[in-house]
Structure 1
Amino acid sequence: MTTHLIDDSPLTRYHKRLIVACSGGPFLDGFLLSIVGVALTGADDDLALSSSALGIVGAVSLIGLFLGSLVFGPITDRIGRRVMYTADLLAMIVASAVSLWVDTGWQLIVLRFIVGLAVGADYPIATSLLTEWMPRKYRGAMIGLLSLVWLTGAVVAYLVGYVLTTFYGDGSWRWMLASGAVFGVIVLALRLGAHESPRWLITKGRVEEARRDVSKVLGREVSTAEITALAEEEPLGRTRLTELLQRHHMRRILFCGLAWTCFAIPQFALFTYGPIILSHLGFEHDTAGATLGQIILNLGFLVGSFPGMRLVETRGRRPLILGSFLLGALALVPLGVWPHAPAWFAMVFFMLFAVINGAGNILVFIYPNELFPTRLRASAVGLATAVSRVGAVVGTYLVPVALDGIGTGPTMLIGAGVTALGFVISLFWAEETRNRSLADVAQAPGGGPAPAADSEAVTTSAEAS
């Protein structure tokens, strides 16, 4: 049996370093998008935000994320993963640091938009780079690890918010938002020295450069024949976004985007407005008490990711996504039926939902990175992210409005309905990609490989190099 140069390679020291470096982005993403949930209480008092403005502050990062993923995904496919790998972090760092001097609502909205823009850019960059380097044996779990690290960032955000609120009061919200700059500098340092994706280099005809990088990572001299065999499955060609409109690509885009939306709406609602929702369900209304409940709740998402990482490799992607959506919907129903239940009842079912959602949520990075060819991967991840954020923006903006307008019970039932919709979508469209090569998965379902934009004889290119 032929051994694939990357898919069947051992897990090297560089792979482990790359996992840590790529994980830094999702950690920062989770932190930056979640810290605002705690900071909003203090910002609301100091800036006198209306209910509408409060919704905009919570949702504007997702609007930026939508545009960032939509714009920078294709750019990443054109100019490479490595260039964009560090550039987006600079925007996160600057926008976070400047939050110290915010004194009006519109300034806060602008900075949160910039943070979202940078976060959106990072989704296709880090996940594509990691996917294209990872051996298939570890690919699902390691890409899923990014979701776990995202959740870790969210939990750390609430811990930071809890500590600052406890010792310095609600007025510490500026320091909460600015603390993202510290983590951003650390992640930036971790990413220095990363190699470009060899699969992307091959699609651009830079075969010899790919051979040198793979040789460094594997610790041995890779032959021209080996890199040529890899190049034969990565056809040369320009990135054309119109390819994503082809039937099989578009179906996969819609599946990834809509399934991600159904995970994201209830999750972002809990991350952004968790303290407010918990206060409606009977927890102490003070910031520290509600934030402590939020920390416990977010730990549920984090705990659920661990069995999810195991199940995604032992049982497969499809069973995991179907089970997560079905059981997650059932967990939200009691909260909708009995909104005035004791606080312990609410926390039990919220925790149950968090664990279930956390297990399935690791798939939001795995599926879009596995289902598309290299020349379109970052574009597809960006587009799927953008599709998911349309629903997430609307859902997050409407959460405080729904809580005030129709009450907690109906709001929770809507969340259950959204989760159930994810089950129906996955039932028809979810594919099984476990233990398959990226080249095999990228093929059109039931047919040959997805057509290249401009294909050439890559062997000639390899020999010329």
Structure 2
Amino acid sequence: MPHTELPSRASIASRLDALPFARPHLRVLTGSGLGWALDAMDVGLISFIIAVLAQQWQLTPGETGWIASIGFVGMAIGASVGGLLADRLGRRQVFAITLLIYGLATGASALVGGIAMLLVLRFFVGLGLGAELPVASTYVSEFAPAAIRGRVIVVLEAFWAVGWTASALIGYFVIPASADGWRWAFALGAIPAAYALVVRWGLPESPRWLASRGRLAEAERIVSTFETAADLRRTRAPRADAAVRPVAVSAAQRVGALWSAEFRTRTLCIWLVWFCVNFAYYGAFIWIPSILVQAGYDLVRSFGFTLLITLAQLPGYAVAAWLIEVWGRRATLSVFLAGSAVSAMLFGTASTEGAIIATGMALSFFNLGAWGALYAVTPELYPTSLRATGSGWAAGVGRLASIVAPLLVPVLLATGGAPLAFTTFAAFFVVATVAAWGLADLRGRALDER
């Protein structure tokens, strides 16, 4: 088929699947990854800021819990709406808008004088952040070659560790430096607003999404650019693939299709995994600095411990990225979830500094490796016309758990201390481990293969 002819939707998809990883892929990955890292920096910063504001503003445990949870209310709404918008308006467009929303809201948080306005702004931060994460993973998965798609998404998720480490560094060096250190931390969190411009004009739209909307000429130009960079030339017609028909067109049809006979088991299991992992992760990691302060460690020492624990995230991602194309999605996800359960139990009963750091690093290693595998498997469960919606609603259901967890942690701590809280988190990890085996494993297969 000559370049002047419009390709079919299926040929666009098959050519993307067959491409080797090249410079344009790296650009999409790093461009999206930087946005992901900035997201993580914002979420991580609030855990340090809560510990400071609890002292400066003399907040009750309930008030600090709401500072953590209100952002997740926004994230639950943002994830669900963002996925629907990304399937309608495009991946890149929604990605940029969400970066702008939460970047501006984070920067404005530096100017607040009381808890009421901070809660309002944290809601808008969550709104943008919740929409951005599932859209970014969908976007990158639609470019990634089939043979290494899972590995690419885990590497994307690894940017979360970069951002969380940056937040730990800011928490250690900037926040304790002065009474207004937390304001400077929020100001640094405004960087995503500027980065949104880079995303909007610097990254290409997903050819799969363009093709699904009938914009085949635009999709062809982008795919040709990738083929040229990979030194590939189409000298023969692509195989005659069957037409890729949209599963659903309207927003209501897309949400309904998640529970059709074809997808209901996948949807139930992925929602359950997202819910349990969000509950355990945000319940633990948002509160670790505050738990250490309550255990008698000063702010600087508590933040130093948290920084060391955070550093274990990167090797967790690295191992998950390797295993996900060796063991597959389900096995990798379930092993890392089981490791998270054991680590949570051990961390909850740790009493010495060495044990706190060692078990905290183990929890960080396994939990973030599990996150990488979860973000890799989620977009693969649904076809292009449904992918961002499916990913967004799974994330949205997960955010419901992240609303409840920070509010429940003070109650758990008051009732049974850290052992009860982290035993509860371990139980949620166990449920997620079991649910992971109900997911489809598309390792090495075409993205739209169902």
The 10-residue stretch of structure 1 (256-265 or 368-377) with the greater mean CA deviation from structure 2: 256-265
Cα offset, 1:60, TM superposition: 1.1
Q: Are 2:106 and 2:187, in contact at CA under 8 Å, matched by a contact in 1?
A: yes
CA RMSD of aligned residues (A): 2.3
* Separation of aligned partners in 2, 1:162 and 1:234: 52
Alignment of 1:209 onto 2:224: no
Identical aligned pairs, as a percentage?
A: 27
Alignment of 1:272 onto 2:286: yes
Residue 342 (structure 2) aligns with:
330
Residue 245 (structure 1) aligns with:
259
* Separation of aligned partners in 2, 1:237 and 1:243: 7
Cα offset, 1:431, TM superposition: 2.8
* Secondary structure class of the residue paired with 2:84: helix
Q: 1:139 to 1:193 in 2, by over 3 A?
A: same
Q: Are 2:65 and 2:407, in contact at CA under 8 Å, matched by a contact in 1?
A: yes
Q: Are 2:345 and 2:426, in contact at CA under 8 Å, matched by a contact in 1?
A: yes
* Separation of aligned partners in 1, 2:247 and 2:212: 4
Alignment of 1:307 onto 2:313: no
* Separation of aligned partners in 1, 2:201 and 2:329: 32
Q: 1:230 to 1:34 in 2, by over 3 A?
A: farther
* Secondary structure class of the residue paired with 1:431: coil
Cα offset, 1:131, TM superposition: 1.0
* Separation of aligned partners in 1, 2:18 and 2:346: 46
Which of 29, 34, 38 matches 2:44?
34
* Separation of aligned partners in 2, 1:201 and 1:423: 36
Q: 1:296 to 1:234 in 2, by over 3 A?
A: farther
Residue 385 (structure 1) aligns with:
395
Residue 56 (structure 1) aligns with:
66
Task: Tell me the TM-score normalized by structure 2.
Answer: 0.90
Cα offset, 1:299, TM superposition: 1.3
- For residues 354-393 of structure 1, give each alpha carbon's deviation from its aligned partner in whole angstroms, at most 9, with x where no partner exists: 2122222202211111110000001001100011111221
* Secondary structure class of the residue paired with 2:205: coil
Alignment of 1:351 onto 2:361: yes
* Separation of aligned partners in 2, 1:231 and 1:131: 21
* Separation of aligned partners in 2, 1:305 and 1:125: 20
- For residues 120-145 of structure 1, give each alpha carbon's deviation from its aligned partner in whole angstroms, at most 9, with x where no partner exists: 11123222221111111221111111
- For residues 99-139 of structure 1, give each alpha carbon's deviation from its aligned partner in whole angstroms, at most 9, with x where no partner exists: 12100101111111111100111123222221111111221
Q: Spell out the pairing of 1:356-367 with structure 2 (5 A cutoff).
A: 356-367=366-377
* Separation of aligned partners in 1, 2:377 and 2:226: 25
Alignment of 1:297 onto 2:306: no
Q: 1:208 to 1:62 in 2, by over 3 A?
A: same
For structure 2, list consecutive stretches of 5 or more residues without a partner in the other structure.
1-10
Alignment of 1:433 onto 2:405: no
Cα offset, 1:275, TM superposition: 0.8
Q: 1:335 to 1:206 in 2, by over 3 A?
A: closer
Number of aligned residues: 433
Q: Are 1:46 and 1:171, in contact at CA under 8 Å, matched by a contact in 2?
A: no
Q: 1:291 to 1:348 in 2, by over 3 A?
A: same
Q: Spell out the pairing of 1:31-430 with structure 2 (5 A cutoff).
A: 31-168=41-178, 170-186=179-195, 188-189=197-198, 192-219=201-228, 225-226=237-238, 229=240, 232-235=243-246, 238-239=249-250, 240-241=253-254, 242-280=256-294, 282=295, 284-336=296-348, 338=349, 341-427=351-437, 429-430=438-439
Q: Are 2:90 and 2:209, in contact at CA under 8 Å, matched by a contact in 1?
A: yes
Cα offset, 1:160, TM superposition: 0.9
Q: 1:114 to 1:223 in 2, by over 3 A?
A: farther
Q: Are 1:22 and 1:191, in contact at CA under 8 Å, matched by a contact in 2?
A: no
Cα offset, 1:236, TM superposition: 8.1
AA matched with 2:407: Y
Cα offset, 1:271, TM superposition: 2.6
Q: Are 2:157 and 2:375, in contact at CA under 8 Å, matched by a contact in 1?
A: yes
The 10-residue stretch of structure 1 (49-58 or 183-192) with the greater mean CA deviation from structure 2: 183-192
Q: Are 1:69 and 1:385, in contact at CA under 8 Å, matched by a contact in 2?
A: yes
Cα offset, 1:436, TM superposition: 1.0
Q: 1:234 to 1:288 in 2, by over 3 A?
A: farther
Cα offset, 1:253, TM superposition: 2.0
For structure 1, list consecutive stretches of 5 or more residues without a partner in the other structure.
444-465
Residue 453 (structure 1) aligns with:
none
Q: Are 1:309 and 1:362, in contact at CA under 8 Å, matched by a contact in 2?
A: yes
Residue 5 (structure 2) aligns with:
none
* Separation of aligned partners in 2, 1:103 and 1:308: 43
